Chain A
């Protein structure tokens, strides 16, 4: 694609990639630039919509849909409240369809959250999970065997199994020592995942696990079942072991997250879009009510990027979309957009790490109107051709609420469509 794009997306997290994909489906010329990769490489690779929330009748619910409705009632500026439930559902469904088309189904649990085991054996609620994970659901009491690899330091099956047993799930643990890994000097989840593309390796690991099954009806492995065809890897292993298999997300880098990244990038390229990393956008040129161009840092001089519509998807404090300075100032890094929920520095962080309320500084974000255009406290719009999506939005703590991927996908989806049409509602 040469020349000026219709839509320039800034940020390669789940929100930015989803926005680029959607703008492309609407026939726009789209370029996505990013400083680097982000959230997809860190998160669990599931789509969390909401951990728990207020039910319609005021009770606590683990049903994502209900939780969302409750959230909207309690917090009217929450991104979900801006979207409304039908739009949230449509975005999540479309995303699941895209993954299905790439033979990587994301599966729901009849509108309720799955309770999947984390790598320490805690229950992790999530709305959509890849098919490679769902056999681990903890609402089901079937006995499981947790398998680690002796060269992989990022997974401790013993601790996980003990915690599962303490929660009433019969679980055993084994760490297998594979001959093919014995001479390897260092190993990370990505390196292991690459090995799963070989059938010999599948045979080897199946042979190593089999003697330890002892009646386990499902086997949990760290989430490393390859990148290309994880579903096939799962089926092949299940065939060899005669029981179900499930993946458990590990510390970053996240193999299941990278799979989602690859699906989106592939789809964007298939639709003629461009994805390029290494562009740290640092400034913008604005004329009247329009953003004309943004500038990225580059060798010797800044590079300018013009477009008709800009989508800001640079994330919050973790993604780098906002910086909180020692002086107590919090800034959106490119446009200096007005921020909402800014607290005095002494109130940024709770004294208690595990405070269920989370830490206020992470709720700072950008307030948008129904068209995802940033607005200030008076409701006045910053620019007519700037759209903001993803976890940079205000009035939510996506990490604590367990709404990270839900917010990213849903706002990215509709923000991308908005960018493509860019009409005021």
Chain B
């Protein structure tokens, strides 16, 4: 068994965890981060990609709104290349109560979210597919965010500051000695060996899984995972974030991100963040609500559905030892639970991840008795000089280089060089890792043509055993299937059949030698409940993002 000694150990490689890692490393702490799978594999990689302006919360939660706009400005400065400056509209459709408008405008003013009225004709010029019955439209500085890239860059920056980022390190349990957590015992899924990591302070940043992690040290952190299901339209139906101007609720937003439009989202409480299904009613709800914003949206080609779990923290202890804003929870388990050496950060929104990381790292400084100032809001992430991302960027590069022959994923214009970079620099181990790095397999054919190519390259570059390559191939096909199955009809079903012809007939991959699946295989959704309506949608307030 390997052992590692560090000052700060962070559990969880999502936005919060990598944000904390960067902050700790920048403040000079010796930092190790462990993630049970790949970075952004959990909730961070499965949200709708909205960079909040705060507009969504101005009425419901003005403090959260103010935090959002403040962080929005900071993120635009430190990571423009992870963002697309789409702007956002709040629109009043015939299904919405116009009485909300004055409250919304007053809320924006109060939270200092910049807002301007957009004439309907101008709105339709900019977004011709929007419902012509929309009566009001307001512009706010929403945007869309590539959360995979942001997470990777936070990790890269952390490494530059000396941190060690270990993915595919599954935490089996926190190591507790008496009233002290002294680190975590991990299973390195790639090497298949145990690793003990000892730390002066452990930061539990496992999001919806934070309760499970804390439980291994007999600490009760009660989280109510809230599942959110999203659906992607195969192309950019809109180029602006479209919000319904009303209290946040299910299916009220469309986020244009990269080449797709994401319809979001539901909020359904689940008992276990590792076990939930995408229910047909959720998909239907997304499509029905999208039709109210874009008539005919439900007829468009749907690429895929996915679901993430938001961590909703429920306090069970009555002490004054908590720093819980309505947006997130930062728990010091020494005063709260009598266990020292560990703190938990959970909840929150992607947009405010940096602020949460700052608060967490302040707590780290306090716990380690070494006050050091935060600089994450001042220093940009690597590559920020490139400026905002824009939709045409990949096409532009390809056209300039005339490197058409280099395409691996034709839908998302991913080149051989991109894949090589992901494998050698990003240390991708599976096709799914490559996907998160470069969007391979995320387009209309969902890996039909690029999976074989990517595995061929992975095999070549990593010098993988044939069985490992075969597993990478089969794992990825399963991974794509889990998000396809809920939305397979019409054109996407036709596509799935062509893909089946390629993999199960032309290539015959199920006959390849080697184990049918591996430790690195992505987690799967459960089968939807056959009744279809066991968890019927209800009017309720949105939690978390």
Contacts and interface: CB of A to CB of B under 8 A. Distances in A.
Contacts of A252: 498, 502, 506
A154 interface: yes
B510 A156 contact: no
Given A118-B508, A346-B530, A399 B494 contact: no
Interface in A282-338: 316-318, 320, 323-326
A356 B298 CA distance: 32
Interface in A77-130: 118-124
B513 A167 contact: yes
A186 B415 CA distance: 12
Interface string B426-469: 00000000000000000000000100110111011000011101
B490 interface: yes
A351 B405 contact: no
A399 B501 CA distance: 6
Contacts of A317: 493-494, 497
Given A166-B513, A317-B494, A325-B490, A185 B505 contact: no
A370 B238 CA distance: 52
A159 B469 contact: yes
Nearest to A350: B485
Nearest to A349: B485
A180 interface: no
A153 B405 contact: yes
A68 B403 CA distance: 48
A290 to B, nearest CB: 31
A25 interface: no
A145 interface: no
Contact of B506 (A153, A249, A352): A249
B405 A186 contact: yes
A162 B516 CA distance: 17
Given A119-B452, A326-B490, A362-B497, A166 B506 contact: no
B489 interface: yes
A187 B477 contact: no
Given A44-B505, A159-B466, A166-B513, A318 B490 contact: no
A402 interface: yes
B496 to A, nearest CB: 8
Contacts of B405: 151, 153, 184-187
Interface residues of B, number: 56
Contacts of B532: 346
A348 interface: yes
Interface in B399-442: 402-408, 416
B501 A120 contact: no
A326 B467 contact: no
Interface string B504-545: 111111111110100000000001101010000000000000
Given A165-B466, A252-B506, A320-B494, 17 more contacts: A42-B501, A120-B509, A122-B507, A122-B510, A155-B456, A158-B459, A162-B459, A318-B497, A325-B489, A326-B298, A326-B489, A349-B488, A354-B477, A354-B504, A361-B493, A399-B497, A399-B500
Interface of B: 280, 287, 298, 402-408, 416, 449, 452-453, 455-457, 459-460, 465-467, 469-470, 473-474, 477-478, 481, 485, 488-490, 493-494, 497-498, 500-502, 504-514, 516, 527-528, 530, 532
11 contacts: A43-B506, A118-B508, A119-B506, A122-B509, A124-B508, A186-B404, A186-B407, A317-B497, A353-B478, A354-B477, A359-B500
Those 8 A-B pairs whose CB atoms lie nearest each other, nearest first: A156-B456, A186-B405, A162-B466, A353-B481, A318-B497, A122-B508, A186-B404, A122-B511
